[in-house]
Structure 1
Amino acid sequence: MFSSLYTVFSLLSFVIRVIIISLYETSRKWLFKIDPDAFPRIPRHVTVDNLASAKDISEIAAANGYIIREHVVTTRDNYLLVIHKLEKRDSSSSRTNSRRPTNTKLESKVAYFHHGLLTNSELFLLGSEKNKNLPYLLVDLGYEVWLGNNRGNKYSRKHLKLSVSDKRYWNYSLDEFALYDIPDTLNYIKSFYSYDKSCKIIYVGFSQGCSQLFASLSLNPTLNDSISLFVGLSPAIIPRDLNHTLLKVIVNQTANDNSFLYSLFGERAILPSVSFWCWLMGPELYQLVVDQSLQFLFGWSSKNISPKQKKVGYSHMFSNSSVKSIIHWFQIISSRRFQMFDETCNIGLSGLSTLSHDSKLTTSRVAPFPISHHLDVPMVLVYGDSDILVDIESTKDLILSQNSIMASKLLETIGCPTYEHMDTLWGDTVYETVFKKVIEYMENSHLYEDDRFYDRKEKETVNGKADVYLQKSNFILI
């Protein structure tokens, strides 16, 4: 009898061990997402391969010794946005900390990152080396770091009433990003630090992440009071002329008729199967295809980005957005105006729309985002001299026209020789060329809240640069 029980017990034990071993990796990842602090800190050698093959932002951060906390923002139009809080993994931390600040006597240094078009929050953590990831550097300096996501992308595909299969879900453009996603996200983050009444946010945007803030501030002027500094990396507001003739034809055709792009891609998501193609091709072939596509469409040489950086970056670079948001950009490029979405979309180069009412043609002008009237935040803009998606002179004109306040609050525009669009995130020299300067401005962001800073800057700054003020010893608040 005992031998029979022993045999049954041994067999059962063997089966359980096989199940545990076979499902170990799956169960470990699942439990890690539920409670990262339950796992001891195990140093891991970071390689290009394990970054490229990471399934999500939690795995990317974990490979570098950090953890991700997920938060859900409900927008006023019922979209559910997942945003990520990045934290340093600390073996001495308890399971209860890091959920919400416990030391309510300290001022919070909060930085928020927002991605560009057709990407997601992973974008800022894809540097092949640690010093090519600005969020990690800031966490190590004691900042509270958040990374946002637009509606419809990999992390934000939920709605309280609509399914992603419903084309109404995808009926959004830059207008909705500006009206809802940005202000609702920033207000959520501010509420997280409600104990600190003086808490302001340093906003770091990349590409469309910059234009979203510009548009949002123009439509929500009170949001200016929530931001202590805006850092714009490759600020795509009004792109320069496109290189490729085919792309120009598509842009102009779409700007004249919304249905053109809808007939090609439908009225829902664009790039819905990008992860499938990445998996099917494998990292090396996928990297080659993306490289050649960017060269073909935009003339990018990508010579400042190493092959290993491309392998990591391209594997996670793309994410869903609406076809309508692409059409919106084509309208902006064609009209050369940073304007709201034109629903009628018979648009000429002057930004005029032709509408038909009972067989009569009338003309109306599409409303621009009123940036020049409502912008009031200190800012630093970083761009590549070889970036065709950034027209820095037109951007400065847009910021400064009819706005005397911004003449002093545009602290610096940093041009990076030979840099293209992605280089302000992934360039081989990005730490020395971009991040060191940006961090210096961030560390002194408290100075920009005093009006006397701008009084002195207006009198003494040469060529519009604020470098002389970036040492705390040079500017003492009395």
Structure 2
Amino acid sequence: MIEKHILFKLKIIIILLTEKNSFCNATETFPMTTIDMKTVVNSLVSGDAFNVNNLLNLSEKYSKDAEINDIDSDIYVYGKYLNTSELIVKRGYTAEEYKVTTEDGYILLLTRIITGKSGPHRPVLFLHGLLSASDQWLLPGCNESLAFILADNGYDVWLGDQRGNVNSQAHNKYDVDSKKFWDFSFHEFGVYDLPAFIEKILAITEASQLSYIGHSLGACEFLIMGSERPEYLEKVKVSILLAPFFNPPRISQSLILNTINLFSPIIMNPLVRATKYSIFPRTKALQTAIQRFCSPEVAIDICLTIVGDVVGDNRKNLDRKLVPFYLSSVPAGGSLKTTEHMVQSFKSGKTRHFSYNLVENLRRYGQITPPNYNIKNIKTPIALVYGNNDGFLKTKSIQRYAKELKNVVMNYWVEDPFFNHFDGIFGKNAAELVHKKLLKLLNNYN
């Protein structure tokens, strides 16, 4: 089995290094006929892919002569960015911001949507995935966003921002530029951040329990909390895990992810040089470059092809006018250690504690390999929602670990065969295929 696994990886790399994939036809606004996957791989290995200036230069070069028209909205304007609270206010609601301090000293942002409507206002917490931020839940608009839909249906919606992203870069002891500040992986998300959010919300609302919705790594951290901090499970009525990252497949559907997986020791060196301890920070320049470069008038199909390889290509399910804003919201910052932890999960096919070296693993864990997270004793009602076209995950992997969970009340494989990793948030059909079911589920538990 190991030999077949290695041979399959080698076959993938040969394809990557030899095949040329036409990303789009030549156009007047984007005079680029083909991009080959060898270029993508070389960019990853050399570190050029992590250089924001490269994207800025491309953006300037190819959007110079293009007419990029602002869409008809005061919210979405190219080159303009609204944070979570501003998006809430622009949509006609009121926003409240709270600072949450974790047990290990990180200061996180927690944002609340206030509708002004009467009702029981049952609390529900949303948490984003890797390199994302809380604003991702709001970008599709009032009728398509699960957060707004729940707010309009009597729920007290709270949006959290994990340590290290653009909204949560503070500590009561460490400076954000120090190595110690960035010494965390997604282990700390589940052990410290999620419990801190839960405590804060229950203290303010005086409720005894809340509901939870996590996307991707946000789903993973709930399972980590259930393994490492089981006392907090009693504070959660029901947990909805969208595109849940946990025990991922060693071979994914993504050629780019498989390349990163195989060449991670080589890629990590230029990544460290380019980013130090943090990775893909959100900046005004980067967001503007992505919005301009990935606009419908410039190179949207190139962007969708590259991103689609990683998350699953379902471009027909996206509002093309909003794609530049979706893509520019994802680089929200995080730690290099978190990314390394995810690579370790792909390599082993298991979600375990962070692996250091043999000596450090023995010191920390009493064994040379890091221990697995034990999810068998999680009795909280759990809903799993995922698609068949997810570049990160595989249906079989999710169904395999779902059998370990004690109380799966919904195991929903979305009917759309092209439903991908982000369609539960940005997909045009998410409101009909997913959000209605989740609202009904939440109502049953509230």
Whether the TM-score (by the shorter chain) exceeds 0.5 is: yes
Aligned partner of 1:451 in structure 2 is none
Normalised by the length of structure 1, the TM-score is: 0.70
Match of 1:384 among 380, 387, 394: 387
Question: What whole-Å deviation, never above 9, does each CA across 1:253-291 have from its counterpart, x for those lacking one?
Answer: 43x689646545444110125542222454454673642
Match of 1:72 among 73, 77, 99: 99
Match of 1:366 among 364, 370, 374: 370
Match of 1:222 among 224, 228, 231: 231
Match of 2:76 among 45, 49, 60: 49
Q: 1:64 to 1:386 in 2, by over 3 A?
A: same
**Aligned counterparts of 1:51 and 1:86: Cα–Cα separation in 2:** 25
The alpha carbon displacement at 1:49 in A equals 2.8
Match of 1:291 among 295, 298, 304: 304
Question: What whole-Å deviation, never above 9, does each CA across 1:42-78 have from its counterpart, x for those lacking one?
Answer: xxx9556359834311221122101211101110100
Normalised by the length of structure 2, the TM-score is: 0.75
Q: 1:251 to 1:265 in 2, by over 3 A?
A: farther
Residue 339 (structure 2) pairs with residue 326 (structure 1):
yes
Aligned partner of 1:300 in structure 2 is 313
Aligned partner of 1:236 in structure 2 is 245
The letter for the 2-side match of 1:314 is: L
Match of 2:149 among 137, 144, 150: 137
The alpha carbon displacement at 1:356 in A equals 11
**Aligned counterparts of 2:174 and 2:389: Cα–Cα separation in 1:** 42
**Aligned counterparts of 2:78 and 2:202: Cα–Cα separation in 1:** 31
Residue correspondences, number: 366
Q: 1:300 to 1:424 in 2, by over 3 A?
A: same
Tell me if the contact between 1:76 and 1:180 (Cα under 8 Å) persists in the aligned partners.
Answer: yes
Within-5 A mapping of 1:125-274: 125-127=138-140, 129-194=141-206, 196=207, 199-240=208-249, 241-245=251-255, 247-254=257-264, 260=269, 263-272=272-281, 274=283
Match of 2:86 among 16, 38, 59: 59
The letter for the 2-side match of 1:368 is: N
Aligned partner of 2:68 in structure 1 is none
Match of 1:315 among 328, 335, 353: 328
Tell me if the contact between 1:204 and 1:230 (Cα under 8 Å) persists in the aligned partners.
Answer: yes
Within-5 A mapping of 1:397-436: 397-401=400-404, 405-406=406-407, 409-417=408-416, 418-436=418-436
Question: What whole-Å deviation, never above 9, does each CA across 1:15-59 have from its counterpart, x for those lacking one?
Answer: xxxxxxxxxxxxxxxxxxxxxxxxxxxxxx955635983431122
**Aligned counterparts of 2:291 and 2:226: Cα–Cα separation in 1:** 41
- Runs of 5+ in structure 1 lacking a partner? 1-44, 91-102, 345-352, 447-478
The alpha carbon displacement at 1:158 in A equals 0.5
- Which segment is superposed worse, 412-421 or 73-82? 412-421
Secondary structure at the counterpart of residue 444 of structure 1: helix
Tell me if the contact between 2:216 and 2:242 (Cα under 8 Å) persists in the aligned partners.
Answer: yes
The letter for the 1-side match of 2:162 is: N
Alignment root-mean-square deviation, CA? 2.8
Aligned partner of 1:39 in structure 2 is none
- Runs of 5+ in structure 2 lacking a partner? 1-71
Tell me if the contact between 1:239 and 1:388 (Cα under 8 Å) persists in the aligned partners.
Answer: no
**Aligned counterparts of 2:385 and 2:290: Cα–Cα separation in 1:** 34
**Aligned counterparts of 1:52 and 1:410: Cα–Cα separation in 2:** 43
Match of 1:277 among 253, 264, 286: 286
Q: 1:246 to 1:130 in 2, by over 3 A?
A: closer
**Aligned counterparts of 1:246 and 1:314: Cα–Cα separation in 2:** 17
Q: 1:249 to 1:363 in 2, by over 3 A?
A: farther
Residue 113 (structure 2) pairs with residue 86 (structure 1):
yes
**Aligned counterparts of 1:141 and 1:282: Cα–Cα separation in 2:** 33
Secondary structure at the counterpart of residue 151 of structure 1: coil
**Aligned counterparts of 2:355 and 2:266: Cα–Cα separation in 1:** 10
**Aligned counterparts of 1:253 and 1:284: Cα–Cα separation in 2:** 28
**Aligned counterparts of 1:249 and 1:49: Cα–Cα separation in 2:** 35
The alpha carbon displacement at 1:130 in A equals 1.8
Secondary structure at the counterpart of residue 139 of structure 1: helix
Q: 1:234 to 1:223 in 2, by over 3 A?
A: same
Percent of aligned pairs with the same amino acid: 23
**Aligned counterparts of 2:290 and 2:411: Cα–Cα separation in 1:** 42
Secondary structure at the counterpart of residue 202 of structure 1: strand
- Which segment is superposed worse, 378-387 or 239-248? 239-248
Tell me if the contact between 1:112 and 1:201 (Cα under 8 Å) persists in the aligned partners.
Answer: yes
